[in-house]
Structure 1
Amino acid sequence: MSWLKRLTGGGRSDDGGRRGVPARPVFAPPALAGLDLPELRLLGTTQSGKRVLAFAAAPDELLPWWERLRDAHPSTGHWPVLVDEHIADLCAALPHGIERRYDDAAEAARTSSLARQDLLDVPAERSAAQAGDEHEVEYGADEDSRVPEQLDARPAAFQALSTTGLVALVPAEHGWQVPAVLGYLGGLSFGMEPFDHVVTLHDRHDRFGAQLVSLTNGQVLELLVERPPTDPAQALEVAREHYEYCIDAVDAEKNASRSSPSSRSARTPGTSGGTDLAAPGAAAGPRTGRAARVREVPVVAVVSLKGGVGKTSVTLGLGGAAAARGVRALVVDLDPQGNATTVLDPPAGGRTVADVLAAPRSGALAAAVAPSGWGDEVGVVASEPGLRGIENGPAPGPRGDLRLRTAMQGLDEWPLVLLDCPPTLGPLTSAGLAAATHALVVTEPTLFALHGAAQALAAVEDVRKSANLGLRAAGIVVNRVRPRSAEHAYRLRELAAAYPQLVLSPPVPDRTAVQQAAGAYVSVHALCTPGGRAVAQAFDSYLDHLLALPTGAGPLEQRAGHDVRAKPAKKGRR
């Protein structure tokens, strides 16, 4: 049962609810007591002792409650923010969120008085540190550019009003300080801290009268803008500042607007009293329109935390299945062993994954794509031994390694992207999971299959919470299965019982055709043998599954209907 459902009265639990949210109501503080609020619940208590409260409301009641509580803010000292079930995962100040010490009082004090230059320098310095000086943007240069007066001026609708949600009451002197009080990091942007959001919100408030309305969907800030820019030069200045605020999200929206005329017409400038939708760094000012997803097609990270289970064979099998069907597939070889690169046989001397990660600017991965020896339908970004230095290097920070995701813009010509990850949860696998829309776990029908799958799924969930809320489990592939083996049949039943919604069927049969195809540098689909056809049939089924996958976030334990810590049964239990 979800945290939001418990909080809104849809259920109770003995431990008081998920993420530390108690099932019992709390009394309103004196400053709020005269407002006749619905039943309040405690979201959490910050390190400095500030209590963040919330109450549930229907969609048509959210904005009226927000407006009423905003007007009462000078006397209550609590700024209203519309939130959803992702909020606890994204706020370091709330219990059971990102586990690190966060001093909300110090952060609020640090952001209480900021000069104009501070507002511009902080995001610019951060983006320069992340991406060097390689991001060059010519605003107004592309054929779709239009000055503000040429755009549709209809105000957009608030995304937060589309579903029953929560009105959070955050003790804050100003609305723009809310990210500092909560320790809000955001779910889409790379390497961002609460201070990054605060300086931008503060600037937008001072210049345009922008007020924070909601933090929803794990990555979206929504603002009410009273005085949007009307001068084209000022609008371009804000656009440049947006780009410094969050490079990857802005690039995602720009690519989406080029490919979709309907999306261009929906991105309208705010009007006085209108609304403004903003993902962190994508539209946090006068520009409206929700930031587009980084990709709308599957980016599948093929993972296993144990070597020798045939992970690369599964990656290549999926690429071959796509090619046989006429679907273009790109294989990104993140494994320093480079087995996928060897079999795909790209020309020597091209750019590699190491080059991409060394300069992770937008479009860097597309520039590194090389043709494979399998034909035009399969491309490859090659591995190299130098990746071992990255894999053996320091672990990524709490926000994960998002260099690969930053570099993935511009891959629209590839309907399927496959990331062949190393068989460990090191920096390269973390980077792959942070860039992926889905994770495909590969295992074998052995004693350690269930334990290995549980570890891999738990690792996927960790990355989802810290760096990529859009990540989903695509399924579990059981490789090298011998149909006549009683042990394999038992382990298959064990896996299916633990993960009924994740184990994919049919399993990949154990056939020498896989090794024969690799030795010949061809796809298993190219072998006209009974074993080759049996293996190809399994990969064809998996391809159908992957191409039909939806995008969106959700905890693994909810999707799978199981405990990801499941343990294998002992043989005596058969």
Structure 2
Amino acid sequence: MQVVSISSLKGGVGKTSVTLGLASAALAAGIPTLVVDLDPHADATTGLGVSAGSQLGIGEMLRNPRRVQLADQVVPSGWVENARRLAKNPAGRKPVLDVAMGSAYSGIYDRPDLGKRDLRRLTNLLSRVTGYGLVLIDCPPSLNGLTRMAWTASNRVLLVAEPGLFSVAGTERTMRALDLFREEFAPNLAPAGIIANRVRPSSNEHVFRLAEMKQMFGDLLLSPTIAEQANWQQIQGAAHSVHHWPGESAKQAAGTFDALVKNLMDTGSVRNRVMRRPVG
């Protein structure tokens, strides 16, 4: 089971949008997937079309991680019904995309002074979970307790950046923070890579920044990059999977996320990848 934190220490770069795109691609590929919405704003939960019932949110689960069975509290994404209806083999394996719902209550753990015991709360919850090929953790845009809790529970960290000056500088800081965190708390943690999001190929600034990122981060800068999509807000507002949205631009975006998920699930190349520090 691959456990991947989707992170950025700078807000507004589309981190949750990338999480949703990866979840959409995993669903389309038939990879049983769990999305853990660790951001107290719970935007991923909304975008995944979750209908909350009596299940606990992730914040409430973190309060008693040894007593709560996460598997009893997850809810299916609203996307699953569409996937089942559109599947070419509806009698085949049931598509799985479950959600550990976001919760404002989780904000009580988003502080900088969590000890090692608290950092393992999510690890304890996930340790009893089976049946998923991929777990995506949508982190808050900070390096406080919740992100560090997610990193502790993860195999890898996937960073999201825009091709702009402040975002590139923030990504470099995140890489250094990840390096330090790995040394102190999680020696087996490694970066899954860096996704450049909202790219405009016609922008000279974006072309320049992408070249800069390639020089700084080498093969950690993943390909393909994610192009800016005009109707992305509409897709998310409808709580729809990009793979189930009509139109050529959605089809192209779906293809991009398909390629990124394939890269993400290529465990052989990931295990052989050495942790790299930014140059300079």
* Fold shared by both chains (TM-score > 0.5): yes
Q: Which secondary structure state, in structure 2, belongs to the residue aligned with residue 499 of structure 1?
A: helix
Question: Residue 251 of structure 2 aligns to a residue in which SS?
Answer: helix
Is the 8 Å Cα contact of residues 455 and 565 (structure 1) preserved in structure 2?
Answer: no
Larger-Rg structure? 1
1:335 correspondence with 2:39: yes
Given that residues 299 and 436 in structure 1 are in contact (C-alpha distance below 8 angstroms), is that contact kept between their aligned partners in structure 2?
A: yes
Tell me how far 1:565 sits from its aligned partner. 6.3
TM-score under structure 1 length normalisation: 0.44
Which AA in structure 2 matches 1:460?
L
Task: Work out the CA distance in 1 between the residues paired with 2:50 and 2:140.
Answer: 20
- Structure 2 residue ranges without an equivalent (≥5): 81-94
Q: What residue is the counterpart of 2:195 in the other structure?
A: 477
Q: CA deviation at 1:397?
A: 2.8
Q: Is the 8 A contact 2:60 2:105 kept in 1?
A: no
Contact 2:242 2:250 in 1 (8 A): yes
1:451-470 equivalence runs, <5 A: 451-470=169-188
Counterpart in the other structure of 1:382: 101
Alignment of 1:61-72 (within 5 A): none
**Aligned partner of residue 96 in structure 2, secondary structure:** strand
3-state SS of 1:434 partner: helix
Q: Matched residues in 1 for 2:99 and 2:116: separation?
A: 30
Aligned mate of 2:12, from 300, 308, 315: 308
What amino acid maps onto 2:158 in structure 1? L
Deviations 1:186-240 (A, max 9, x none): xxxxxxxxxxxxxxxxxxxxxxxxxxxxxxxxxxxxxxxxxxxxxxxxxxxxxxx
Distance 1:552 1:410 in 2: 24
Q: Which has the higher contact order (CA 8 A, sep 6+)?
A: 2
Residue by residue over 1:448-477, the C-alpha shift from the partner in whole angstroms, topping out at 9 and shown as x without a partner, is: 232111111122222222222221100000
Q: Number of residues paired by the alignment?
A: 265
Q: Which residue of 1 aligns with 2:89?
A: none
Q: Trace 1:142-541 onto structure 2 (pairs within 5 A).
A: 297-348=1-52, 349-361=54-66, 364-375=69-80, 376-391=95-110, 393-397=111-115, 401-541=119-259
Which of 239, 254, 267 is the equivalent residue of 1:549?
A: 267
Does the C-alpha gap of structure 1 residues 351 and 413 become closer, same or farther in structure 2, counting only changes over 3 Å?
same
Equivalent-residue separation in structure 1 for 2:213 and 2:165 (angstroms): 11
Q: Deviations over 1:272-307 (max 9, x none)?
A: xxxxxxxxxxxxxxxxxxxxxxxxx21000000000
DSSP-derived class of the 2:262 partner: helix
RMSD over aligned Cα, in angstroms?
2.1
What code does the residue aligned with 2:65 have? P
Structure 2: distance between partners of 1:338 and 1:475: 24
Identity %, equivalent residues: 37
- 1:363–1:469 distance in 2 versus 1, CA, 3 Å: farther
Partner of 1:222: none
> 8 Å contact 1:422–1:428 — kept in the other structure?
yes
Paired position in structure 2 for 1:143: none
Q: Distance in 2 between matches of 1:458 and 1:365?
A: 32
Asked if 2 retains the 8 angstrom alpha-carbon contact of 1:363 and 1:407, the reply is yes
Distance 2:255 2:233 in 1: 17
CA 1:439 to 1:362, structure 2 compared with 1: closer, same or farther past 3 Å? farther
